[in-house]
Amino acid sequence: MKKWRGKMVWLLPSLIICIAVLLLFNHNYQKVTEPPDDNWSRALDIGTTPILRSPHAKMMKGNATVSFLTPNGIQENSYNEDFEKVERKNHDIPVDKFTQFYIEEDRVVYTDYYHLYDEESGKKISEIQKFFPLKSEAFYRNEDKLFRLDTHQLEGEALLTLANPKAELKMIETENGVYLLIRMVSIEGNQLTYYQVKGNNLQKLGENAFAVKGSEEVRDIQFTVKNNMYHILVSTLQKQSQSGEVENDYYYAEGPFEEDPNLNRLSFSDPFSSTELREVSDLSMEYTEDGTLLLFKATGWTETRFRENTQFNIYQAKIKNNNETEVTRLSNTPSFSNFPIRVNPDTIIWVDHGGENHNLLVSSSRPEVITKADQVTKQALLHTSGKTIGMLSAGLFALLISIIWFLWPLLFMIIIMFTRVEAMDQDRSWVLYTGIFIYLIAAIWTKDLLFSESLLSRAPEYLSFPGSPILYLLSFGLISFAMLKIGSPTKDWSIPVQLTYFIGVHVLLITVIFGPYLL
């Protein structure tokens, strides 16, 4: 028993520190694995790709088919409604950073920077300047012509000759068919022409025009078509801004095809902070029964990272009748998220930027997928460990602040050594108690140096309630004093050593429990 009591002076502080580290790890795990939204699942890993490019996804026979590039070619996975893999196919093609592809049943075509090829024969189909692989058809542009690809004959069928070779083409596929938007820029502004693809022909739907402010230039246009009306989103870039930083604005309009767009500015509020989302990009649009939906990546609030509280994640915005937006976060990871695509109304896929390989991740509002994704993963444990170690390292700054607390009892001990030598020689208990009292008064008096408003705002509720700094300073003082008295070796220690032990344990508890939230 005496042997164990002798070790308690070291075991008890170690035990409390271990408990504090476990609490910090659990707190960080809850933040790192926080679902993006109450009704959406955590990220579910379904594969990796070496190329930062959007995957392909479509529904076939009730299953979701997801295709993406690997170092050896294309991997085509089929998933059931619970996103469990039911089939896998591989297609061997050369892969580089320019590779794009289109899969139709057993036919695969792919591109490099200059040409379109057939996977089976390796035959060059055509030279290209732009490739448009949609869900059920593929198109390509060669010089001033737009072609529809006949995947059976492996040849292009000309649909349109562009009057202006600098014209920009946009193509989308909806449940009602394939649509084409041609944008040409002139002195008057931006001229838009809308078409619907009808087999090997184009049906012109209408044309209109819009202009932006002189201080802005159009960066991107996204569109969709529904009920004989266009819906467009115009992204602009400020040529010059007062802040000197890149500034983007987003405008939305809808109406009949022959009616010029009445652009209304949109803002995207971060659902987890009081600020707006920044750097909105990788946009896509679709029209649903609930209205126009935007899917995009943006910089917004996240607590998945150490020290930095923003990251690129995936969001959805529903445009209301008054041109306001209702934003929902669909992903919440510490990595840079890119290229979101919608598999079906309740499931999205995106690419998380990694090192040599990038993770393909899924999020869904289906209860079965939410349950499946709610599991402990190696990736989550690694991110949590990294964040915890980083926070513990940052907590060491609390040691520097505590020097101010330690100076006053040190000064007291020096005065006693020169004025009351016999009290030190005889280890009078009042010297220890007075030193502890002076230390605690100094800590409480200068507590704001450590317990700042920013620290308390970052700390969990059980550490940051009103009056918590004083309560914890005193509570840790009682714990340190109890450890000092429980350990039998401390009875043989001198007063300066006992006081040093008390202060050391007290500072260590503050450092481990509050220090991680200092930075």
pLDDT band at 484 (very low <50, low <70, confident <90, very high): confident
Contact of 120 with 110, CB cutoff 8 Å = no
pLDDT digits over 189-238, tens only? 899 999 999 988 999 999 999 999 888 889 999 999 988 899 999 999 88
For residue 359, the Cα-to-chain-centroid distance in whole angstroms is: 13
Whole-number pLDDT of residue 242? 60
Whole-number pLDDT of residue 4? 57
* Average pLDDT score, the chain: 89
If we measure between CA atoms, which residue out of 410, 391, 403, 409 comes closest to residue 450? 403
Torsion of CA 42, 365, 82, 384, to 10 degrees: 0
Is the pLDDT score of 427 beyond 80? no
pLDDT digits over 349-389, tens only? 999 997 778 999 999 999 999 999 988 888 899 999 999 99
Whole-number pLDDT of residue 354? 78
Distances in whole angstroms, Cα of residue 466 to Cα of each of 395, 461, 469: 22, 10, 8
Q: To the nearest whole percent, how much of the chain has pLDDT over 70? A: 95
Contact of 198 with 189, CB cutoff 8 Å = no
pLDDT digits over 167-195, tens only? 999 999 998 899 999 999 988 889 999 99
CA–CA dist 59, 76 (Å, integer): 13
Sign of CA dihedral 237, 242, 246, 251: negative
Burial 340-367 (b: 16+ CB within 10 A, else e): bbbbeeebbbbbbeeeeebbbbbbbbbe
One-letter amino acid at 443 equals A
CA–CA dist 224, 145 (Å, integer): 22
Whole-number pLDDT of residue 338? 94
pLDDT band at 293 (very low <50, low <70, confident <90, very high): very high
Is the pLDDT score of 325 beyond 70? yes
Is the pLDDT score of 490 beyond 80? no
pLDDT band at 140 (very low <50, low <70, confident <90, very high): very high
Q: Which two tokens stand for residue 150?
A: 């006949």
Whole-number pLDDT of residue 377? 87
pLDDT band at 303 (very low <50, low <70, confident <90, very high): very high
* Per-position DSSP letters for 284-348, written without gaps between them: EEEEETTEEEEEEEEEEE-SSSSS--EEEEEEEEEEPTTS-EEEEE----SS-EEEEEEEETTEE
Q: Environment class of residue 86 by beta-carbon count within 10 Å: exposed (0-12), middle (13-18) or buried (19+)?
A: exposed
Whole-number pLDDT of residue 273? 93
Q: Please state, as a whole number, how many other Cβ atoms lie within 10 Å of the Cβ of residue 445.
A: 12
**Residue 143: which region, alpha, beta or left (left: phi > 0; alpha: psi -120 to 50)?**
left
Burial 271-283 (b: 16+ CB within 10 A, else e): ebeeeebbebebb
According to DSSP, the residues that pair with 238 across neighbouring strands are 216
If we measure between CA atoms, which residue out of 292, 211, 207 comes closest to residue 257? 207
Distances in whole angstroms, Cα of residue 445 to Cα of each of 122, 201, 487: 78, 81, 30
CA–CA dist 81, 368 (Å, integer): 9
